[in-house]
A and B are shown apart, each in its own frame.
Chain A
């Protein structure tokens, strides 16, 4: 173990430790690499691809790529920002993300990363999928329209809560989040609001009931400072609840 190893992130030397990914080292150095499916409390996943960076010119996901001494990592290059923007636009058109009517607006990581990358429109043709809303649980509502398949709830419920409340079913564009209960409804599962899985959703797919729009526009998480300064929504769950 040596902390004297460094790599370059947009020309800046970043120290890293053995076993670090590029994302680990960047987070420790308070350098922001946009991401959605990554949460440092969980093993890297690498599905959203928003953390794409170029290592010596080759695109890789920062959350899964091991750091290595001397590599040149491009993070804020125009081309990479364009790629991230396109990936975010894909996520926006795949689901039904209606920001103005969403409780999570202003405190949503998808929206905040989109603003950060200067995404101004969804660009691609909307899929407008037919998805359900599950309000069967007394304290939590799941709106599948907003799910981006980051699997953070799947991972949290499996690895922290030891409950396996969530799983992925289907394949390809038909992949979707499902709930492990006899009826497939959340109210029928062992899910509780104290679960870790209740506090990791980066978008407005898993939301607490009985309150809404409590914080006025202008005072929400990302209203005054960008996500590169504020950080992940999951890290602010405690202040929000």
Chain B
């Protein structure tokens, strides 16, 4: 690290480039972390002083994001993706082997400062896992051989650019293309359509298409754009904002990665279109930290679009049509996929969801009217502009027009991206991906729905099973409780901690699932799981808390046997071992006779 420029100089440089804008805090922190494997105290002080923020605030932002640290991680910061699908592909054994080879304990930097090995939430490589991140870059298709090689590369201090290139190969794995993926990039045609038809004309096209948000909630896109367009913003000279939510953190989802890798032009065209319709000059792509490796190529795509007159001032020669897009990096926080938390993060703060109302369409980024849409939504909008509303709504169902990209992983022959018309049944999807002997499908990720075989005739659509695209397949051999445990741990890790039910309830839920898993729970605990889950659903501050108990509640209702076969027969079982709790008293008193023990009934 000594050959690098000092962190003090680098921090000053970052501050000089951005004119001391407090909104850039997270971006600076991310940049410093990438270079020095932590944020040195001197940088914290520099940032606090230049951005006029309390140092505790800066530390609070660092403390919120999983990828930021105040102590060095080491030359190689290695994070194993901890999604259930990674587990199913053997990630835990590989990680144990890796740790043994390097002589490290998970989560603790090695004493020589060389390496730190830990786990991280799903990295979006589920179709080519197990995966890990090394200094933020994704390595896929891990196996015993790769692990052995990587351990040697680390020991030999081989720089990342000298690692075998195939380790960093990420495949699109597009297995089924329909409306969106089978069409050529719309290039400038989407924006030409905007200029030809005018903002009103093109808005009418989006409205007629029936397009709904692809993140999972399914809010009508035209209505969102209309609310934003009509929001009073006279104080800001109608400086509205377009945000593309590429914080694809839902475990088992990776379709936005593929869209940004191979269809970024369409996504940016969709954002520009939205800007033209609502009257925005600024756009942001909020890219999850796990997709750092795509940043450079996305910046190049943006630069090309600027050169081609598709971004910047007077787009396609139309006077006053000014719009540009900036990429902001996330830093390891699933909650930032929630749109108001994303806006907080975009402003450089802790990603705590806002109180709503007001909604982002009236009070969004920096208080300005803001449209936040999913990557896939913007891409669909661009294609609709080119191909027309009728083309789009010719497929799908009445309430769910068009197609949906599914990210399929788990127990199937051909994991990858499948584009299906809305209305497709679970069964048809399973057949297409080569899944047999299927026990359950987890649709819409950890926050989604557990679908048993009896319900495979149900369909993917907003009116039935609504999803952002995650589709994880579990065969009959799988222990579904492992999935529930993985998800409950995930939510404890990802809860922002703002509200009581999600912060505390989520932890209680996780502890109870661990208790069931360890074979120490009784019937009483089943009631407790339901009560805590229902409380979280009813009283949490945001969608994370209200959906976090879904996997527990769903499996309790549909797969009660996965719990029951592990229950003890007693009505109540304490969370701790009563007899073991007396050990300290026995040690003090020097007694170890029968009377100094509690007998548990057998």
Contact = CB atoms under 8 A, between A and B. Distances in A.
Interface of A: 44, 46-50, 52, 59, 61, 64, 66, 83, 86-87, 90-91, 93-94, 124-125, 127, 149, 164, 166-175, 178-181
Given A173-B492, A175-B497, A168 B511 contact: no
B497 A171 contact: yes
Interface in B113-129: none
A66 B56 CA distance: 33
Contact of B539 (A64, A87, A168): A87
Interface of B: 54-57, 59-60, 63-66, 333, 350, 355, 357, 492-501, 503-508, 511, 531-532, 535, 538-541, 575
B63 to A, nearest CB: 4
A12 to B, nearest CB: 23
B503 A173 contact: yes
Contacts, number: 113
A164 B60 CA distance: 13
B56 A170 contact: no
Contacts of A170: 63-64, 497
For the complex of A and B, 3 pairs with smallest distance between CB atoms: A175-B497, A180-B56, A90-B504
B497 A173 contact: yes
Given A170-B64, A172-B495, A83 B508 contact: no
Given A64-B355, A90-B505, A46 B541 contact: yes
Contacts of B355: 44, 46, 64
A47 B56 contact: no
B506 A90 contact: no
B499 A171 contact: no
Contact of A49 (B60, B66, B500): B500
Contacts of A168: 60, 350, 497
A46 B499 CA distance: 8
Contacts of A124: 508
A172 B503 contact: yes
Given A87-B535, A178-B59, A172 B497 contact: yes
B496 A172 contact: yes
A149 B57 CA distance: 15
A110 to B, nearest CB: 11
A61 B535 CA distance: 13
Given A90-B500, A168-B60, 19 more contacts: A46-B355, A46-B541, A59-B538, A61-B539, A86-B532, A87-B535, A91-B504, A93-B504, A93-B508, A149-B497, A167-B57, A169-B60, A171-B497, A172-B493, A172-B496, A173-B497, A173-B506, A175-B498, A178-B59
Tell me the dominant secondary structure on chain B's binding face. helix
A172 B494 contact: yes
Contacts of B503: 94, 149, 172-173, 175
Contact of A171 (B64, B501, B540): B64
B341 to A, nearest CB: 11
A170 B63 CA distance: 4
Contact of A87 (B54, B57, B500): B500
A64 B503 CA distance: 19
A213 to B, nearest CB: 29
A23 to B, nearest CB: 12
Contact of A66 (B55, B357, B501, B507): B357
A64 B500 CA distance: 15
Contacts of A169: 56, 59-60, 63-64
A163 to B, nearest CB: 9
Contacts of A172: 492-497, 503, 506-507
A167 B352 CA distance: 14
Contacts of A164: 54, 56-57
Nearest to A50: B500
A47 B498 contact: yes
9 contacts: A90-B500, A90-B501, A93-B504, A124-B508, A171-B65, A171-B497, A172-B493, A175-B498, A178-B60
A47 B333 contact: no
Nearest to B496: A171
A102 to B, nearest CB: 20
Contacts of B357: 66
B575 A125 contact: yes
Contacts of A59: 538-539
Contacts of A180: 54-57
Contacts of A179: 56
A164 B59 CA distance: 13
A71 B508 CA distance: 34
A49 B54 contact: no
Contact of B538 (A64, A66, A83, A167): A83
B539 A52 contact: yes
Contacts of A49: 499-501, 539-541
Nearest to A91: B500
Nearest to B541: A46
Contacts of B65: 171
B249 to A, nearest CB: 14
Q: Which of B495, B498, B504, B531 has the most CB of A within 10 A?
A: B504
A167 B507 CA distance: 23
Nearest to A150: B500
Contacts of B497: 149, 168, 170-175
Given A49-B500, A164-B56, A167-B54, A173 B539 contact: no
Contacts of A90: 500-501, 504-505, 508
Q: Which of A59, A127, A179, A180 has the most CB of B within 10 A?
A: A180
Contacts of A50: 500
Q: Which of B64, B501, B503 has the most CB of A within 10 A?
A: B503
Nearest to A164: B54
A125 B540 contact: no
Contacts of A64: 355
Q: Which of A52, A59, A164, A172 has the most CB of B within 10 A?
A: A172
A171 B63 contact: yes
A167 B539 contact: no
A131 to B, nearest CB: 15
Contacts of B350: 168, 171
A48 B500 contact: yes
A86 B535 CA distance: 8
B86 to A, nearest CB: 21
A94 B495 CA distance: 15
Given A46-B355, A90-B505, A167 B499 contact: no
Contacts of B508: 90, 93, 124-125
Nearest to B498: A47
A46 B501 CA distance: 12
Nearest to B537: A59
B59 to A, nearest CB: 6
A180 B44 CA distance: 12
Given A64-B355, A90-B508, A94-B504, A171 B539 contact: no
A127 B511 CA distance: 10
A50 B499 CA distance: 10
A52 B501 CA distance: 11
